[in-house]
Amino acid sequence: MAELYDLVAARAYGLAYRVLRDGAAAEDVVQEAFVTVWEQADRLDPARGSLEGFVLTVTHRRAVDAVRARMRRPQVSDDASAVERVEDGGRPVADVVTDSIEFEQATEALDGLPAEQREVVTLAYFDGLTHAEIADHLGVPIGTVKSRLRLALARLRDRMGIVQRT
């Protein structure tokens, strides 16, 4: 199970995060998916697909279920929702607001990248692919992937005003 987790967890998290847009919820979904795989290990049939595919399918289904559950909850105004989250999680209001602003800035910065750079960032950080996997997926040399990623991260740092330590 540890080997499977090491192999698939980053991709499962990226998939869950892409669906949920919430890091903590994505972590919960990945944990639930691995528990499900553990509990149903005796039912796995290699003829029906790979173990990695099964984990990712379970993760995706759990993430979609989590989104549907959110949608069924009664809607409240944004201000009341923020206060409720702070009360429930015990987090200071300033932290909730800062996280929200940083997420919005990061999304805007990512949207401002050229398509090729945005694609490699998404594949690397949200889908959890390695440089080699990205190169295979896009059909480009690995050096091109590394260059696009380096340029994209530099642009993101500039757009978000992040000072890089030397």
What CA–CA distances, in Å, run from 39 to 8, 33, 42, 48, 66? Answer: 17, 10, 8, 18, 20
Residues of the chain with CATH 1.10.1740.10: 1-73
Write down the pLDDT at residue 100: 59
CA distance 144 to 155: 16
Task: Please tell me the predicted confidence (pLDDT) of residue 166.
Answer: 52
Question: Which element (helix H / strand E) includes 42?
Answer: none
pLDDT at residue 96, rounded to an integer: 56
Token pair of 111 as six digits: 């949207």
**Residues ≥6 apart with Cβ < 8 Å to 159:** 108, 109, 112
* CATH (residue range 1-73): 1.10.1740.10
Which ranges of the chain have pLDDT less than 50?
77, 87-88
Spatial distance between the Cα atoms of 40 and 44, rounded to a whole number of angstroms: 7
**What pLDDT sits at residue 88?**
45
CATH number belonging to the domain at 112-161, selected among 1.10.10.10, 3.40.50.1390, 3.50.50.60, 3.30.565.10: 1.10.10.10
Percent over 70 (pLDDT), the chain? 76
